[in-house]
Structure 1
Amino acid sequence: MSVAKSLSRIHPAQIRISVRLLVLILFTVGNGGVANAQQSDAKNTPPAVTISAPEPLRDLLKTHFQLPMTQLVDETDRATFMRRARKQISELLATEGYYTPTMTLHSATPHAIPGTIPVLEVIPGPRTLVTEVDIEFKGDLATDESGRRARIEKLRAAWPLGAGQPFRSPAWEEAKAILLSSVAAEDYAAAEIEESKAEVDSDSHKARLLVIVDSGPAFRFGNLEIKGLSRYDPTLITGLAPFKVGDSYRRDQLLSFQTKLQNLPQFNSAAVNIKPDAVTHQAAPVEVVLSEAQSQRVSVGAGYSSNTGGRGEINYTNNNFLDRALLLNGGLRLEQKRQTLSTTVESVRDQAGRWFSLGAGAERTFIQELETVREKVGISRNQLYDKTETRFALNWQREDRAPKGGLHQINETLVLDAQLRYRSVDDPLFPRDGMVTEVRIGGGSKQALSDQNFLRTYIRHQFWYPIGKRDVLLLRGELGYTFAPSRFGIPQEYLFRAGGIQSVRGYAFQHLGVREGEAIVGGRTMATGTIEYNHWFTREWGAAVFTDVGDAADSVRQLDLAVGYGGGVRWRSPVGPLALDLARGQRDGKLRLHFSIAVAF
């Protein structure tokens, strides 16, 4: 259909409505543009009055006091402005302890230079100081008993707004909140401030403070009242409680109990609290409100690493295996240089942070012309306490190793293994300050299902140190040594190779080791180290320069530390830290790109 025919079908009334609509749209857009321009001009236009005040108070007044944006053309405008200024600025300065300020508007004179802006001079006057603090207690805490008297003295000594300090409203409110929180943290869940008073003498610039705290009765824990539990036995919850019925109330124990429940994979959320009802203080019920998570889940993921190439994986999780709240994890991971099939069954952590796990798996690798196929089963006892994790394991392993041009062997071993890891960082995903230390020792014997006698030792320490607001210095070192008559008969997991990401960049993954035929195999000793400097241009993007050194060999004397150095890009991605590094290996002079990223679906 032609345009002319299309237009001929339009009714005249429709044309009139369309024209009106078009005019209305243009008028709205035009006015919107004018309004936006006016708002932009208002933002860019300097105020008609400036403030002169002591430096500590200038920012407070600029932030919270609205200056006029239009000129004060006559005495009426100036009087109106000064009434508002005296009221609002006096209230602002009172929060900082200044109760007798004076304000003067220095207006432009008839002979002043055109465009001169009037100045509002603010003189805060003397600052009011705290001269007397009276903290009184009522309720059970006020009982004349040595333990309670000692606690009262401790509470009074911890009061942060003492005599001689400036009286500020925020500090006054904060001090009361800290005091009440300290009282309510132990025994007295229903504590409250019965009375608080600050008497300010503006003439003498002195403040006298009075706080009366009613502790109420001493509370003890009662029975657990569990809500939202359907699939699991209540003993899963009761076994994690750090208190018993009749124990004295402690707020930190409630919070610890709640954190343990929140960390369980069986629940989406958990909330623990008691009702501060004085009637039930001798056995206050503890309410536990839970939201159960889906018990089974299948996830897939993909990624890439310059160490092992492209990766695809599928994982299955069951949080209620055998209907006993056991955690079953199974997964298949396919990488270009490594393929792994594994499964583990874990118990729920107990009150002390202990749990047991049973696992089995099979893995094939082809790295640096060394092909390995291993089957493995093991059982371990694990514990996480604060920042320290320990693991004691008994593992049996069978490995078929086939180095190209080297000796083909099948090695079996039964290893008793111990591991300790200490982690103290400000952010577990993007650390900027802190450290991680790992120590591991394990071995096997010919007398106990092993083809070789050996004892493997390993230590790693990594340290982050913040420099200024944007920079971070990273230091890393690791040492390993396997005591054994020979490396033959020992699976590769208990020997050492180096090179690649998180090792010595500038060299291929596990390229540093012992040459056997055309392959690189693990040696009995290893040492590596890193120094890296990161600068963050924005919250998400940064750059790094680094130097890595290290080597792996069959003896300490044979170690010949290789050096790699370069730089790279850092990105705090939504799925985790990403590093793209270009490094030069000093041994061969080649440049190598090191990169890794993983995405879960």
Structure 2
Amino acid sequence: MSSTPSKIDYYYIRFWSTILLLIAIIPGIAVAQESFDITKNSTTVILSAPDTIKEFLAKYFKLPAEPFADSTAEKTFLYRAQKEIRSLLATEGYFSPVITLSHQTQGEVTKPEIRVDPGVVTRIGEVSIVFRGEIIQEDAKYRKRIEQLRAAWSLQAGSPFRSSEWEQAKATLLSDITQEDFAAANIVTSQATIDPDHARADLSIIIDSGPIFYLGAIQITGLERYNQALITNLAPFKTGDAYRRELLHLFQIALQKAPQFNTVSVNISPDTSQHKSIPVQVVLTEAQSQRFAFGGGYSSNNGARGEINYRNHNFLDRAWNLTSMLRLEQKRQTFFAGIDTLPDQNNINYSLITSLQMTDIQNLKTNEQKIGMTRNYQTPEIQMQFGMNWQRENKQPAGAINQINEALTLDWRWRRQIVDDPLNIRRGDVTEIRIGGGSQQLLSTQDFVRTYARHQSWWPVGSQDVIFLRAEIGYTLASSRFGIPQEYLFRAGGIQSIRGYDFKSIGVQEGNAIVGGRTMATGTIEYTRWITQQWGAAAFADIGSAADSWQKMHPFIGYGGGVRWRSPAGPIALDLARAHETGTLRFHFSMAVAF
């Protein structure tokens, strides 16, 4: 008979081993818990007060943990405690507290007790805000602004008076005045008159706006390799414009985005003697003009990725940007090179690009060469491009005829982005419109006009959550899709399209391949619940299709949920989506940012 233990014997031994281990551990846990409770409850001084007051004092007033050395030490502490507690309660608007000292016996131990009755909270009575300086001139603009400043004052009559809120309200008022026109505004006097008998606080402020400031010349510190025009052309103001803090902020953001600089600071010194033409001070450090970068990543659309970048931010010693990139992905390989000139005073610059790209997606292989030039206009909210591009595409669908497609196109693109935070959006809209086309009379193998529009909206829900909506539509006007490069046709599926379906798997069947059609429409609704500051969960539904005509459009639906993580580069999304048509489950991994 074999002596090998049976499976039942194994689980029997394991079960009783676990029980014995728990028996050994649980008393220790109980003793530790009891010890913790005793430590928690043991204190030298008893503090008695209403719950909210007791919680407040526990945060800012420290009770002694060890017994007093003698009666003198106890009396010294209690005397100091009364003064500190009165001061702390005054910051919360309690100016007439009753603090009594006694002793309480607990078992065989007698301890001193501090009993706190905070009394009635002091409330705000009259509020007087008096303005001086040029803001009181007879001008409808400034009269309205004074009304707005008074209306925005946060401490209204009848509300509780707290010192911290009083200081914050004054700081906010001063900040609101100095953000436009009056850079040297200051508070002349401020007083909170406390009437403890009636629990009332009357507030008075006198604020001097000073003169109106006008922006003068730009003074630059730290510029060595570049012409000053690189700085001045990015300024969103002209000499003589009235001072606005927002203009300096926008100027600093524009300079920080310029690859030629590492650090940038834009400011003024509000000297009233120079208010008619205050210098704008720009202090910066220059970045290295040339750099190599290596990177890698993964997207469920194109698989694993590795790339090499080379950038020269002072190309031909003209501060032009030369960018080149070699990116190798599982489904796509790209080489790109481009030159961008400097923006002029009208925010216009020019770009020259060239690229080579090979793709192998849904049994469709393409080999594309492109060269083009664009005229770019850009502000913090608007991007507009108008360009001419020529491309040649070798199209190889599996099981169908290979084709060579060429197109010389005029292409116009308009994009508007108004969001609260480009990386972690909670509120905003992004709209994009593109129109382009080519003609057989001008180096194109087919006549066509391609139109495309997309809109994305974010709405906050509560303090953390976000609802996201996306809609896009595209239509290429042409007699046939043949002869048109894939860039000017449409496929759907994958990230930023219809999740649950493979990347570009929805389109027109050509042989064994899926190729682009002349029509496309997709949409998304997504709800993200941020559980912590860094982590969230999302639920979504996508719908749409791509085909060769509107009549052949068949809606594809995908839905599911995912995880969101706020990384330094923006939210990273990992989604599990189900394709309604096939029941297939598919993971999608991407950066969930607006583009």
TM-score (norm 1): 0.82
> Structure 2 vs 1, CA of residues 503 and 220 (structure 1 numbering), >3 Å: closer, same or farther?
closer
CA distance in 2, matches of 1:159, 1:580: 45
Q: Is the 8 A contact 1:303 1:597 kept in 2?
A: no
Show the counterpart of 2:481: 487
CA distance in 1, matches of 2:141, 2:566: 51
> Structure 2 vs 1, CA of residues 355 and 44 (structure 1 numbering), >3 Å: closer, same or farther?
farther
Show the counterpart of 1:60: 56
> Structure 2 vs 1, CA of residues 153 and 407 (structure 1 numbering), >3 Å: closer, same or farther?
same
Q: Is the 8 A contact 2:47 2:54 kept in 1?
A: no
- 2:275 aligns to what SS in structure 1? helix
Q: Is the 8 A contact 2:449 2:477 kept in 1?
A: yes
Show the counterpart of 1:12: none
Deviation at 1:345, TM superposition (A): 1.5
1:552 aligns with 2:546: yes
Superposition RMSD in Å = 3.5
Counterpart residue type for residue 366 of structure 2: T
- 2:336 aligns to what SS in structure 1? strand
Greater displacement, 197-206 / 570-579? 570-579
Greater displacement, 296-305 / 348-357? 348-357
- 1:211 aligns to what SS in structure 2? strand
Show the counterpart of 2:13: none
Greater displacement, 161-170 / 466-475? 466-475
Greater displacement, 173-182 / 350-359? 350-359
Q: How does 1:111-126 map to 2 (within 5 A)?
A: 120-126=114-120
1:93 aligns with 2:78: no
- 1:108 aligns to what SS in structure 2? strand
Of the candidates 407, 412, 419, which is equivalent to residue 406 of structure 2?
Answer: 412
Greater displacement, 567-576 / 344-353? 567-576
Q: How does 1:358-507 map to 2 (within 5 A)?
A: 358-466=352-460, 472-507=466-501
Of the candidates 331, 334, 346, which is equivalent to residue 337 of structure 1?
Answer: 331
1:103 aligns with 2:79: no
Of the candidates 224, 228, 240, which is equivalent to residue 230 of structure 1?
Answer: 224
Deviation at 1:543, TM superposition (A): 4.5
Provide Cα deviations, 1:333-385, integer angstroms capped at 9, x if missing partner: 12222111111212333455443322121211121221211221222233333
Deviation at 1:314, TM superposition (A): 1.0
- 2:263 aligns to what SS in structure 1? strand
Deviation at 1:147, TM superposition (A): 6.3
Of the candidates 129, 133, 153, which is equivalent to residue 127 of structure 2?
Answer: 133
Deviation at 1:223, TM superposition (A): 2.4
Q: Is the 8 A contact 1:53 1:121 kept in 2?
A: no
Deviation at 1:493, TM superposition (A): 0.8
Counterpart residue type for residue 253 of structure 1: L
> Structure 2 vs 1, CA of residues 320 and 209 (structure 1 numbering), >3 Å: closer, same or farther?
same
Structure 2: tracts of 5 or more residues without a match:
1-34
Of the candidates 577, 588, 595, which is equivalent to residue 594 of structure 1?
Answer: 588
Deviation at 1:116, TM superposition (A): 10
Greater displacement, 383-392 / 484-493? 383-392
Of the candidates 261, 277, 281, which is equivalent to residue 275 of structure 2?
Answer: 281
- 2:104 aligns to what SS in structure 1? coil
Q: Is the 8 A contact 2:384 2:412 kept in 1?
A: yes
- 1:515 aligns to what SS in structure 2? strand
Greater displacement, 452-461 / 294-303? 452-461
Deviation at 1:54, TM superposition (A): 6.0
CA distance in 2, matches of 1:360, 1:324: 20
Greater displacement, 150-159 / 358-367? 150-159
> Structure 2 vs 1, CA of residues 119 and 301 (structure 1 numbering), >3 Å: closer, same or farther?
same
CA distance in 2, matches of 1:211, 1:597: 50
Deviation at 1:172, TM superposition (A): 2.0
Deviation at 1:291, TM superposition (A): 0.8
Q: Is the 8 A contact 1:304 1:597 kept in 2?
A: no
Deviation at 1:166, TM superposition (A): 3.1
- 1:282 aligns to what SS in structure 2? coil
Show the counterpart of 1:272: 266
Counterpart residue type for residue 287 of structure 1: Q
Q: Is the 8 A contact 1:303 1:596 kept in 2?
A: no
- 2:276 aligns to what SS in structure 1? helix
Q: Is the 8 A contact 2:233 2:343 kept in 1?
A: no
TM-score (norm 2): 0.83
1:188 aligns with 2:196: no
- 2:433 aligns to what SS in structure 1? strand
Of the candidates 299, 303, 306, which is equivalent to residue 309 of structure 1?
Answer: 303
Q: Is the 8 A contact 1:50 1:117 kept in 2?
A: no
1:292 aligns with 2:286: yes
Counterpart residue type for residue 300 of structure 2: S
Q: Is the 8 A contact 1:464 1:474 kept in 2?
A: yes
Q: Is the 8 A contact 1:547 1:564 kept in 2?
A: yes
Provide Cα deviations, 1:149-176, integer angstroms capped at 9, x if missing partner: 6655554454433444433212221232
Identity %: 54
Q: Is the 8 A contact 2:450 2:475 kept in 1?
A: yes
Deviation at 1:260, TM superposition (A): 1.9
- 1:181 aligns to what SS in structure 2? helix
Q: Is the 8 A contact 1:129 1:205 kept in 2?
A: yes
Q: Is the 8 A contact 1:536 1:543 kept in 2?
A: yes
Show the counterpart of 1:512: 506
Counterpart residue type for residue 503 of structure 2: F
